């Protein structure tokens, strides 16, 4: 079959793009699941590279990375864990930056259950309060700091249902196994609107800042897709998606 010049050019372009497209293995903090899926689609469309995400708790990812997991980029839910990996020589020097600042919310799947000031916590008329494991998930740690600031640690202790990560903490509430719980705002918010239930957006003054750092791991060094993703996360399209889920930059 004879290939005309325009078709030949198109074929060459497609072959070139395929040859230069790579995958990047990314460990993603559970709170960032929805934004990273949206970013992944746009990233592949714009660069040809494919983002392959695994979701979990930041502390659990630290252990997996130290045990040789094949991740090339780490999108953590804090800044301390990437900094620790950096100090231990597991990251590409100079690659770490804050890609988002997270917001904590007290949420119920029930309309009108959580008031705008979070006074439902002190009223203590619920049976179960869901939080993420504070030892592994930064949003869980932030939740315990809020309870401490409000002098509710002891009152809520017998009611707490602990999820392995923020996704499981959210699931406990969404399925009705807990009347309310502390979740990431990004799980219940999109484009300025609460997507379901009722919520109190927790003031940042009640907990340590949730600075979420990205870092390229040693296994990503030399992978063009890993570097492309690190650059893309700082660009306007990714930033717009991140902000749309209630994060600050």
* Structural domains of the chain sorted by starting position, each given as residue range(s) with its CATH number in brackets: 22-101+210-244 (3.40.190.10), 103-206 (3.40.190.10)
Strand ranges (E), the chain: 23-29, 50-56, 73-75, 97-102, 104-108, 129-132, 160-163, 180-184, 189-190, 193-194, 198-201, 210-216
Q: Would you tell me the crossing angle of helices 138-149 and 166-174 to the nearest 10 degrees? A: 70
pLDDT at 15: 41
Q: What is the pTM of this model?
A: 0.85
CA 94 and chain centroid, separation:
21
Q: What is the pLDDT tens value at each position of the chain, 249 positions in all?
A: 444 444 444 444 444 444 467 999 999 999 999 999 999 999 999 999 999 999 999 999 999 999 999 999 999 999 999 999 999 999 999 999 999 999 999 999 999 999 999 999 999 999 999 999 999 999 999 999 999 999 999 999 999 999 999 999 999 999 999 999 999 999 999 998 999 999 999 999 999 999 999 999 999 999 999 999 999 999 999 999 999 999 998
């Amino acid at each position: 079959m004879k290939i005309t010049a325009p078709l030949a050019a198109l074929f060459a372009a497609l072959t070139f793009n395929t040859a230069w497209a790579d995958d990047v293995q990314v460990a993603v903090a559970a709170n960032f699941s929805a934004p990273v899926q949206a970013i992944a689609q746009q990233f592949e469309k714009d660069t040809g590279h494919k983002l392959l995400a695994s979701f979990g708790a930041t502390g659990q990812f630290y252990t997996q990375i130290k045990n040789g997991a094949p991740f090339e980029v780490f999108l953590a839910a804090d800044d301390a864990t990437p900094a620790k990996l950096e100090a231990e020589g597991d990251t590409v020097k100079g690659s770490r930056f804050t890609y988002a600042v997270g917001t904590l919310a007290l949420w119920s799947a029930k309309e009108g259950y959580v008031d705008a000031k979070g006074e439902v916590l002190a009223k203590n008329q619920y049976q179960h309060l869901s939080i993420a494991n504070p030892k592994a998930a930064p949003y869980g740690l932030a939740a315990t700091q809020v309870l401490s600031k409000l002098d509710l640690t002891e009152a809520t202790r017998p009611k707490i249902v602990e999820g392995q990560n923020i996704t499981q903490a959210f699931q406990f509430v969404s399925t009705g196994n807990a009347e309310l719980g502390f979740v990431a705002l990004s799980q219940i918010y999109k484009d300025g609107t609460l997507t379901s239930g009722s919520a109190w957006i927790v003031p940042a003054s009640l907990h340590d800042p949730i600075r979420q750092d990205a870092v390229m791991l040693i296994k990503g060094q030399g992978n063009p897709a890993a570097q492309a993703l690190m650059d893309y996360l700082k660009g306007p399209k990714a930033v717009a998606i991140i902000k749309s889920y209630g994060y600050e930059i």
